[in-house]
Amino acid sequence: QFGGAGLGSGQFDEPVGIALDADGNVYIADTWNQRVQVFAADESGLIYKPISEWAVSGWYGGSVQNKPFIAVDAQQHVYVTDPQACRVLEFTVSGQIVRAWGTCSSDINGFSLPVGVAVDAAGGLWVSDAGNNRLLHFSLKP
């Protein structure tokens, strides 16, 4: 167990999404603190300490449905959903924004409550678009 309530590094205000990278680092979508926090285990593997964090501007989960989820791919890119703003954001592991996409709509480029997110073995991204009752697949070639 690690964390606790608060605003400081290593503390959370409604952590929702969680993902692991190939190195075993733990990525947390910290909803109300509007950030992603990254933790690594110490040598014992029992204690996790914060190693990085970055802000995600605009995350305001106004209801239980509007919570961000997170995934990390094999190339160490981090994907987070922003249900309230109907978008998906891609970051480097150091927190630099790579791209963001989505609008609030039911067309193929839009979302209505994008929540769940996962990467597949081929490097594609799956997004659960809860408001439109569908799953979307994106091929993420640079």
pLDDT digits (tens, 9 = 90+) for 111-142: 999 999 999 999 899 999 999 999 999 998 76
pLDDT digits (tens, 9 = 90+) for 36-94: 999 999 999 889 999 999 988 766 655 555 788 999 999 999 999 999 889 999 999 99
Q: Is 0.95 surpassed by the pTM of this model?
A: no
CATH superfamily of 15-139: TolB, C-terminal domain (2.120.10.30)
Q: How many CB atoms lie within 10 A of CB 88?
A: 22
* CA-to-CA dists, residue 54 to 40, 58, 63, 141, angstroms: 15, 13, 23, 24
